[in-house]
Structure 1
């Protein structure tokens, strides 16, 4: 599809090279004369906005236009997303293509106990990474399936059932408790201590079938974004540094 800018070039060419009148040239390329004559007025903040978009895109290489617009709105809430999208295209900003992975998504069907309201269903899982000089980093990811909010993202070299319970205790006190919490059959989640604690707090554990990650699609999606936008972008020297960087990323993700 040819846009107004290309059509204006066509009118200028016909007028200059073939000596068509403006009326004739506009008619041939199907552009109203008022559109051909229109001169856009550069807004005072255009240069600042363009430079800021470039800076944010460079700092957050896995962020697309909508996420960059969210960051811009924290500094200048009146910026329309259409302006950001226009500049994004003009600057040729694109996300690097990722090679799609072959995955078994399993049979189609409805999500069991789909979340209908906030604090109805939570999901949790573990994500792993490595420190700069070796050594494991273990992240506990917990989200609300209805709001998609990241509720907690603790990191340590080891996270056992007691740390899992401590994290849940804090969330239940500060956020309320869900009716269900969904997970795979990892040892930390099926531990008797965790199951007993959930039962005592009237929260029902839902376990997906082994080898069926599609049954826990919301946390799988979150984990993919977390790895793509945060873990793959940083090298962590130690646990405190990982905590600081992950907390910053989580705050941006939720807002």
Structure 2
């Protein structure tokens, strides 16, 4: 099959035939000299007869413009057809491309190019695993129970329950089911002195630095109660959550005394400059037992970052989701949440392991909290 002639070449050949005919040659001889059949010659003359080369170029350009406009119109129709919702996942793009091909009559190649789907992905059949429905139900159940956990913590809990699954598969199911990923907390910079030194003491081992702070909430009748939170900054373990209507420096001293007997006194203890923490009796007692106090700068809560992070998780996962009808209910639920936090809840800073797991319990056991009743 010969090379197809361009419009410019066709017009030149027609002019050559006209010159030969003017010299007395027959049509057959003249047509044979340009290397085409008489049918092709007459078709060319009907289409390009009387045109100049510049006119042929303009016709070619107009045809190109009409084809481009037609392509843009079809692309716009495809986008309007599939733009009724977000098309993000490959499965949704596959359904959108099939719908465009069936509705608008576009080719699969064009539909995939406009939608942004690779053709090999479009043609690859979707394989559903046998455990897909069971895994989806397990993810939804954990997400409903622990509403503020993201997919990474859900993945860690699934692995603890015996699932061999990676984060990407859990994330895919998470997005497909429309589960909401909690917003990330903004990063805080360190507080530096004018001489360039950092005033924050980093915990190096268990019992090196403890920190404590107060969290305030209300029962259903509007009455205020306070929570004294004490954590070990190195292990992230919550050592105590004391819940009372009022807490003063004497209550803080009593709580620390019980913790020192159970866990041993730490080397340092960090807090803000609240009156309960800077009381003379408390500071003298800590000095006698050999515990050094670390007070943050006023108005700089990020210096007590470990305790502030724990307080935010306590409020986000429990206090903001539960209605406490009396103080006794608040004490029970908060203590149950503390045990869950220490023994079950995956911590990202610890490789998605709990700070103090209860190894004597079976792997699938989850201590109840947030109002759940143990069997």
TM-score, structure 1 normalization: 0.79
Q: Distance in 1 between matches of 2:240 and 2:154?
A: 23
| 8 Å CA contact 1:61, 1:95 repeated in 2 | no
Greater Rg by CA: 2
Superposition RMSD in Å: 3.4
Pick one of 304, 314, 317 that aligns with 1:229: 317
Q: Partners of 2:121 and 2:298 in 1: how far apart? A: 64
Per-residue CA deviations over 1:63-119 (Å, capped at 9, x if unaligned) read 222233344344335343333222111111114769x99xxx787433521222222
Higher mean displacement: 228-237 or 208-217: 208-217
1:176–1:43 CA distance, 2 compared to 1 (3 A) = farther
Alignment equivalent of 2:139, drawn from 42, 45, 53: 53
* Residue matched to 1:63: 149
Matching residue of 1:213: 301
1:125 and 1:184 in contact (8 A); partners too: yes
Q: 1:251 aligns to what?
A: 339
Mean alpha-carbon deviation: is it higher for 173-182 or for 66-75? 66-75
Local SS of the residue matching 1:234: coil
Residues 239/35 of structure 1: CA separation in 2 closer, same or farther (3 Å cut): same
Separation (CA, whole Å) in 2 of partners of 1:199 and 1:108 = 26
- Matched with 1:183 is 271
SS of aligned partner of 2:180: coil
111 and 90 in structure 1: CA distance in 2 versus 1, 3 angstrom threshold: farther
Q: Which moved more, 1:206-215 or 1:58-67?
A: 58-67
Counterpart-to-counterpart distance in 2, 1:37 and 1:125: 56
Pick aligned residue for 1:126 from 182, 202, 214: 214
Q: Does the Cα contact within 8 Å between 2:217 and 2:319 map onto a contact in 1?
A: yes
- Relative contact order: is structure 1 or structure 2 higher (C-alpha 8 Å, sep ≥ 6)? 1
Show the counterpart of 1:43.
130
Give the alignment partner of residue 154 of structure 1, picking from 236, 242, 245. 242
Distance 2:141 2:270 in 1: 39
Q: 1:3 to 1:182 in 2, by over 3 A?
A: same
- Aligned match for 1:203, one of 275, 281, 291: 291
Partner SS for 2:164: coil
Aligned partners of 1:106 and 1:212 also within 8 Å: no
> How far apart are the structure 2 equivalents of 1:233 and 1:13?
43
Q: Aligned partners of 2:117 and 2:95: how far apart in 1?
A: 12
Gapped runs of 5+ residues in structure 1? none
SS at match of 1:194: helix
Q: How does 1:65-80 map to 2 (within 5 A)?
A: 65-80=151-166
Distance change >3 Å, CA 7–CA 233, structure 1 → 2: closer
1:183 shift after superposition: 0.5
- Distance in 1 between the 2:181 and 2:295 partners? 35
2:223 is aligned to: 135
Moved more, 10-19 or 54-63: 10-19
Take 1:7 and 1:134, find their aligned partners in 2: how far apart are those partners? 51
1:238 aligned residue (314, 326, 337) = 326
Instruction: For residue 269 of structure 2, give the secondary structure of its aligned residue in structure 1.
Output: strand
Alpha-carbon deviation of 1:155?
Answer: 0.8
Deviation at 1:202, TM superposition (A): 0.9
SS at match of 2:293: strand
Q: Under a length normalisation based on structure 2, what TM-score does the superposition of the two structures give?
A: 0.56
